[in-house]
Amino acid sequence: MHLGRQNIKSDYYMDGQLLQETKAERDLGIIISDSGKVAGQCEEAYLKANRMLGLIKRSVKYRHPKVLLNLYKTSSTTLGI
């Protein structure tokens, strides 16, 4: 991944092999893109939250809003969303 506008975008080698260039990397759970934008991080959080909501909706029969909200809050803190 090359960062910065004035980066000369050199090739990097490890043990004589060319390393593949990437557009984004994950470090400590944060997605860092070569453009510096947080769109990838936001999109991943959104998708993870929607998966959790889908799981809750499919597995719970009593769908009172308070119950669903408490389930979501409990699961999101437990799973680290």
pLDDT in tens, 23-65: 888 878 788 887 777 788 888 888 888 888 777 777 777 778 8
The closest alpha carbon to 75, from 60, 56, 57, belongs to: 56
The closest alpha carbon to 31, from 21, 20, 19, 43, belongs to: 43
Rounded-to-integer distance, Cα 50 and Cα 76, Å: 11
Q: Which residues pair with 17 in a beta bridge?
A: 14
This prediction's pTM:
0.51
* φ, ψ (nearest 5 deg) of residue 49: -65, -40
> How many other C-beta atoms can be found within 10 angstroms of the C-beta atom of residue 75?
15
